[in-house]
Amino acid sequence: MNRVQNWEAKIIHREKLLLGEAAFWHPELQRLLYVDIEGEKLAWFDPVSRQKQDYLLDKKVGTIVPADRHQVVVAIQGSLALIDLRDHIIKTLITLEDDKPANRCNDGKCDALGRLWFGTMHIEAKPGEGSLYCYDGQLTKMLDQISISNGVCWSPDNTVMYHTDSLDKEIKAFDFNLTDKKIANPRVIIRIEEEGCLPDGMCVDLEGMLWVAIWGGGCVNRYNPVSGELIGVVRVNAPLVTSCAFGGSNMTELYITTASKWPDSTMAAKYPDSGSVFVVETDIKGLATNFFQS
């Protein structure tokens, strides 16, 4: 049995994100970007200067990906949009699910060719109401009857795509064809057995290992996606862990978002760090962020 490596995350920015999500590292700006879904905003944070800026939106925003140095694509409730971080100009790229006004966008990332993969879900997480889409100027539905689409990411050689429907408590791998964006041969590689815990956002390191934010577990778990073995745990002093992303000058720092929207106030008092952004130095390099290419 291999030894499980352990780390302790520390707060790098104390705040009260209602539902932090979709963290990514912008290599040109050297900043962390993320969203607050329930707070209807996106934000960037400079870990060196500790400066932070929020961009308030009027709709729930599920994910954010870079398009160039100053523009990002956001998946908001009902549409995909391009936002210029300099002047805050928003340009709608495409509308989504006009027949499902109670749906919103959730987690997503770009593949190595710059296509945006993202999910949708019912705002009350009703089972089977969401889908997984791929957008490259045209919108293609890749999976349907999804409850909470999360954590899409790829192996370093771009032959495997990982995805989770959080309510299933399972992480699946798909054979992935980068050229024609086809996915096939879905199989369960990891099951989350712990009571009250769900797999949330994910990322991959250069060794091909999978890092999974565990909602309800106060941790990010590192798994071998081939064997399914747990090989590392990052402890976070906030149970509702939502997403993780490698960043920093050496791409060895793991940034972690959390949520503070508890169903009751007793849990909020017990875990006052909930909603903050955390970081841990791992000495393991992560994959670079893929930019959106229209």
Does the annotation list 106 as a binding residue? yes
Round to whole Å and give the CA distance between 8 and 278.
10
* Cα 277 versus chain centre, distance: 13
Residues in CB range of 44: below 8 A, 6 or more apart: 26, 29, 31, 32, 33, 52, 53, 85
Size of the chain, expressed as the number of residues it contains: 294
Phi, psi angles (nearest 5°) of residue 73: -100, 130
Backbone torsions φ then ψ of 267, nearest 5 degrees: -70, -35
Establish whether 136 is a catalytic residue: no
Beta bridge partners of 91: 82
Determine if residue 200 is labeled as part of a ligand binding site. yes
Tell me which of 200, 205, 264, 283 is the catalytic residue. Answer: 200
283 is in an annotated binding site: no
Q: Report the candidate in 76, 60, 65, 169 with the shortest Cα–Cα distance to residue 124.
A: 60
Token match 């709608």: residue? Answer: 92
Q: Does the annotation list 124 as a binding residue? A: yes
**Of residues 277, 195, 283, the one with CA closest to residue 244:** 277
For residues 274, 103, 147 and 32, what is the CA-based torsion angle, rounded to 10 degrees?
-40
> Residue positions in the annotated binding site for a divalent metal cation?
21, 150, 200
> Residue positions in the annotated binding site for substrate?
104, 106, 124
**Residues with active-site annotation:** 200
